[in-house]
């Protein structure tokens, strides 16, 4: 266990060592057990967390608010549209000022080409930890929850096969942050990672290269595939979700039209039968039901989406407890 994490930012798991992430898992499991047993664990009494949102949220806002409260602190929800950010407050000013008011700053900013840069500018000016609640490049807390869920359901991830697959959705052109963070972290844990997507739905080249490097170092594998059926075959974990083709085009209307070519990229019962018999289905939620995934799969016995969502609470509490104490 690592004990030197006070004051650290969590912007991407790539900037934490594997030992440090192992510590997050250990603390998260401990906090989950304490909550299950009704044992108080107010390690952040009188601490305050600023939660700055540029995008709407269900699980992220609720789990951070509940988590900081369970740790004895307070979470302040801040909507960018109802602050002076919309009238000129800069990232530097937010970092300087909120870093003096609060004990931690959490931010969700997913605008393509802007979000991660904004979060890093806040972090550069802040005297307290900055936590990335999702940006255009990374979604670290979702992926920490995913890792925790895989460990709970499958044991040691090393040698297990995960299919990180595109799936069609028509709700909106979603960020790349979930699949990118998945391939980065799961390769570090020695998994055999399959990145499955139509040719137009590439991820950022530098992220793909980092994932390949991680796999070589950790002893797993990383391959890119363009056939959803092939990606599912023999997999221990399947994680099909939608993302926009931002690397191909930044025109959202064009992305929508490209996506319409792949409406058959759906997680259904037939595809689940291609995976291992005890394979688990994962999704960060919300899913476009019966477009991205059938009801039979997401509500079926192989789905772990609600345990996965719960684990957001525990990993976030772990990182807050380790960095904000």
CATH code, domain carrying 56: 3.40.50.1370
In a domain, 216, yes or no: yes
pTM, to two decimals? 0.98
**Structurally, how many domains does the chain consist of?**
2
User: pLDDT tens digits, residue range 168-227?
Assistant: 998 779 999 999 999 999 999 999 999 999 999 999 999 999 999 999 999 999 999 999
Per-residue pLDDT at 287: 96
Same domain, 169 and 114: no
- Look at residue 4 and tell me if it is in a domain: no
Indicate if 163 and 235 belong to the same structural domain.
Answer: yes
Q: Within this chain, do residues 157 and 281 fall inside the same structural domain, yes or no?
A: yes
Give the three-state DSSP class for 302.
coil
Question: By three-state DSSP, how is residue 4 classified?
Answer: coil
What pLDDT, on the 0 to 100 scale, is given for residue 70?
98
Within 10 A of 156 (CB to CB), how many other CB atoms are there?
Answer: 11
Domain that holds residue 252: 142-308
Q: Are 106 and 51 in contact (CB under 8 A)?
A: yes
Contacts of 196 (CB under 8 A, 6+ apart): 163, 164, 165, 166, 224, 225, 226, 227, 228, 230, 231, 240
**Residue 124 resides in a domain:** yes
Which is nearest to 124 in space by CA: 145, 99, 150, 103?
99
The gap from C-alpha 221 to its chain's centroid, in whole angstroms, comes to 21
Q: Quick one: pLDDT at residue 87?
A: 87
Are residue 75 and residue 129 in the same domain, yes or no? yes
Q: Would you say residue 191 lies in a domain?
A: yes
Residues 88/121, Cβ–Cβ less than 8 Å: no
- Do 135 and 165 lie in a common domain? no
**Distance (Å, rounded) from C-alpha 44 to C-alpha 318?**
11
Quick one: pLDDT at residue 172? Answer: 77
Whether residue 197 sits in one domain with residue 88: no
Sort 232 into a burial class: Cβ within 10 Å, 0-12 / 13-18 / 19+. Answer: buried
The CA distance from 210 to 268, in Å, is 31
Whether 2 maps to a domain, the answer reads no
pLDDT of residue 171: 78
Residues 178 and 298 in one domain: yes
pLDDT of residue 165: 98
Q: Do 99 and 149 share a domain, yes or no?
A: no
Q: Examine the domain organization and report whether 250 and 211 are in the same domain.
A: yes
> Is 146 inside a domain boundary?
yes
- Judge if 50 and 103 occupy the same domain: yes
194-221 b/e (C-beta count within 10 Å ≥ 16 → b):
bbbbbebbbbeeebbebbbebbeebebb
Residues 316 and 180 in one domain: no
135 and 147 in a single domain? The answer is no
Q: Is residue 303 part of a domain?
A: yes
The string of pLDDT tens digits covering residues 312-322 is 999 999 999 99
Q: Cβ-count burial of 112 within 10 angstroms (0-12 exposed, 13-18 middle, 19+ buried)? A: middle
Residues with pLDDT less than 50, the chain? none
Q: Are 19 and 141 in contact (CB under 8 A)?
A: no
pLDDT confidence of residue 86: 83
Looking at the domain assignment, is residue 1 inside a domain?
Answer: no
């Amino acid at each position: 266990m690592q004990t030197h994490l006070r004051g650290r930012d969590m912007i991407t798991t790539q900037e934490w060592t594997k030992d440090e992430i192992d510590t997050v898992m250990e603390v998260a499991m401990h906090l989950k057990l304490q909550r299950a047993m009704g044992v108080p664990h107010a390690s952040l009494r009188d601490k305050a967390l600023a939660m700055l949102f540029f995008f709407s949220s269900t699980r992220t806002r609720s789990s951070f608010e509940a988590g900081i409260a369970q740790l004895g602190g307070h979470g302040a929800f801040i909507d960018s549209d109802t602050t002076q950010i919309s009238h000129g407050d800069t990232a530097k000013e937010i970092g300087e000022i909120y870093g003096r008011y609060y004990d931690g700053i959490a931010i969700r900013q997913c605008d393509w080409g802007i979000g991660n840069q904004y979060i890093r500018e806040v972090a550069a000016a802040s005297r307290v930890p900055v936590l990335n609640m999702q940006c255009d490049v990374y979604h670290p807390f979702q992926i920490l929850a995913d890792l925790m869920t895989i460990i709970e359901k499958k044991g040691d991830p090393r040698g297990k096969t995960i299919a990180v697959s595109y799936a069609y959705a028509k709700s909106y052109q979603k960020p790349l942050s979930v699949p990118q963070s998945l391939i980065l972290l799961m390769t570090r844990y020695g998994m055999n990672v399959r990145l499955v997507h139509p040719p137009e739905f590439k991820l950022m080249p530098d992220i793909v290269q980092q994932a390949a490097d991680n796999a070589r170092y950790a002893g797993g594998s990383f391959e890119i595939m363009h056939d959803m059926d092939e990606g599912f075959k023999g997999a221990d974990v399947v994680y099909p979700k939608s993302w926009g083709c931002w690397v191909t085009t930044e025109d959202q209307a064009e992305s929508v039209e490209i996506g319409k070519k792949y409406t058959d990229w759906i997680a259904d019962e037939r595809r689940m039968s291609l995976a291992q018999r005890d394979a688990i289905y994962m999704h960060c939620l919300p899913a476009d039901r019966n477009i991205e995934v059938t009801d039979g799969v997401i509500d079926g016995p192989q789905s772990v989406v609600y345990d996965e969502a719960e684990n957001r609470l525990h990993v976030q509490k772990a990182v807050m407890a380790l960095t904000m104490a």
